[in-house]
Amino acid sequence: MEAVVVDAGSKLLKAGFAAPDQAPPLVIPTQMKCMPEDANMADASLFEDTMVDPIVRGFIKDWDAMEDLLHHVLYTSLGWEMGNEGQILFTDPLSTPKAVREQLVQLMFETFNISGFYASEQAVLSLYAVGRISGCTVDIGHGKIDIAPVIEGAVQHIASRRFELNISDVEKIKEQYACCAEDDLAYEKTGKSCQLEQHTLPDGQVITIGRERYTIGEALFEPSILGLDTHGIVEQLVRSISTVSSENHRQLLENTVLCGGTVSMAGFEERFQKEASLCSSPICPSLVKPPEYMPENLTMYSAWVGGAILAKVVFPQNQHITKADYDETGPSVVHRKCF
């Protein structure tokens, strides 16, 4: 049986048996309805407003809910059988706390009785997906931005950066309408020329969307329009790279990978490249194009695809954590065997 790869984000969970040239077969919301144990499906509508988020800002926060979610994914959706569980690879968000890594490996061996475990950082896996082992990832996800330089398959944590930009509050509007202006001058013109559209909110209120469709994308490059005193993502990328050895700057900047659902908005990649050509660095960031044989929308699934690639190596070559490893050392074995 192929290993299962799980990439669990704050908004979406991607999972499936390792198939490096395919999109994950299972993509479901991470958020769950919270129902009492004695409730049945007929009562489900009574709990529509009682939601729980197992993962917040990329990290597992509600372990009971996470256990329920993984049980549904592994046994109901992917067809694992009780007593015949297989191997599993998880993607690690940037700077995952040691305690979270240990609790996850403990959950998988003691509750799910898996036969093998491995975990690797999302930044490394996203580079694997485009055929690189060194480079820099710019991951714009559900309420956070992670910038991570990677050299020879190792994240340079001292140079990595995380920013919390809460665009998740307008998620549905963002997905339906958001796009990037060509540059800051084009954004200024949207105040006069932007087409207006009506949007109905969940409470029935109707709002007009015009220039706002460009604001989310613009804020990523010009945070000052939201009143934030910080640099845009391209400048943040350049500043992050500046903290590592100068001999690695070209290798990192010229192998930049965009990932996360937000970067798929219309015009984002073109705007990023334009801003990159104007940045303060003598070496301009350059985006890596994914191989043609990779699935469409790879930016949304790159960590999962990279995990599928890695799973084809670590498990056949016995580089993973086995049940014997876990029984001998305990949860801390994850720090020794999963770099």
- Residue 312 is part of a domain; what is its CATH number? 3.30.420.40
In a domain, residue 139? The reply is: yes
Which pLDDT score, from 0 to 100, does residue 263 have? 87
Strand 154-155 and strand 161-163: the pairing is unpaired
Which pLDDT score, from 0 to 100, does residue 147 have? 96
pLDDT tens by residue, 147-205: 999 999 999 999 999 987 656 545 555 666 677 888 887 777 666 566 666 656 555 66
Into how many domains does the chain fold?
Answer: 2
78 and 25 together in one domain: yes
pLDDT above 60 for 107: yes
Residue 85: give the domain boundaries.
4-122+297-337
User: Is the separation of the CB atoms in 122 and 329 below 8 Å?
Assistant: no
pLDDT above 60 for 18: yes
In a domain, residue 9? The reply is: yes
pLDDT tens by residue, 38-62: 555 555 555 555 789 999 888 999 9
In a domain, residue 283? The reply is: no
d(CA 299, CA 272): 14
d(CA 7, CA 112): 17
142 and 261 together in one domain: yes
211 and 92 together in one domain: no
Q: Which whole number is the average pLDDT over 18-27? A: 93
31 and 50 together in one domain: yes
In a domain, residue 288? The reply is: no
216 and 241 together in one domain: yes
87 and 105 together in one domain: yes
In a domain, residue 33? The reply is: yes
Which pLDDT score, from 0 to 100, does residue 35 have? 64
d(CA 183, CA 204): 34
Per-residue confidence band for 142, with pLDDT thresholds at 50, 70 and 90: confident
DSSP helix/strand/coil, 89: strand
179 and 94 together in one domain: no
- CA distances in angstroms from 163 to 119, 139, 147, listed in the order given: 23, 10, 9
140 and 33 together in one domain: no
pTM of the shown model = 0.87
Sheet containing 4-8: order of strands: 26-29, 12-17, 4-8, 87-92, 116-121, 321-322
C-alpha gyration radius of the chain: 21
pLDDT above 70 for 253: yes
Residue 175, domain CATH: 3.30.420.570
